[in-house]
Amino acid sequence: MATLTPEPLLRPVIHAGTGLCSLLLAVLPAAGALACAGLGVVAGWVVIPLTVERRLRRPRERYLGGLRTYPLAVLGVVLLLPPAEAAAAWGILAVGDAAAAVVGTRVRSSPVLGHPKATWAGSGALVGAGTLASFALAAAVGAIARAANVVEPGPIPSLGACAAAALAAALVDLFPWRPDDNLPIAAAAAGALHLLGGAA
């Protein structure tokens, strides 16, 4: 296996790290949360292209790729879901998708049902890491919100609901989406979490 260098890992590290921003949903009123998500869109569409895009862009990646769809996906979950569920969906998108990219490209594994890109290792990483991040972030947002008493976090998804949402995201990720998989992954996770609510 080739020696890993920081550069190929920079994008998934940033992708996953931004999920920590979901903790702000515990203390920001709806308008503030939407404003912060909007700032994320500005960062993805203006700041990153002017600064580090050349270091983050994948070979042959389209202009409307993951660097620009990721903040739109985050804006969508923040707009449509209560804080704890939004944090859970964001965790799957941020950590689960990043884990799938890292593990899928660095761990030798057979493709999922002959899929040209997805491997069992990568999809398993999406489900495993996505579930844990989703549950941890949702629980943290719930606990912080109750302590701060500024916002109502809404239903706190159970570990089972987070696992189901991560599995839904992994299944959706098997389809060839254009321009990128961020929006479908976020939509699948958000839809599953909303349908299951706090159910186990």
- What are 31-51's pLDDT values in tens digits? 999 999 999 888 877 866 666
Residues 6+ apart with CB under 8 A from 147: none
Q: Do 94 and 18 meet the contact criterion of CB atoms below 8 Å apart? A: yes
Q: Do 179 and 69 meet the contact criterion of CB atoms below 8 Å apart? A: yes
Q: How many domains does the chain have?
A: 1
- Is 1 a domain residue? no
All residue ranges of the chain with pLDDT < 70 are: 1-8, 47-53, 55-67, 177, 198-200
The whole-number pLDDT of residue 146 equals: 96
- Is 180 a domain residue? yes
The whole-number pLDDT of residue 59 equals: 62
List the domain range (segments joined by +) for residue 95: 6-196
- Is 54 a domain residue? yes
The whole-number pLDDT of residue 79 equals: 95
Q: What is the pTM of this model?
A: 0.86
- Is 163 a domain residue? yes
The whole-number pLDDT of residue 70 equals: 87
- Is 66 a domain residue? yes
- Is 169 a domain residue? yes
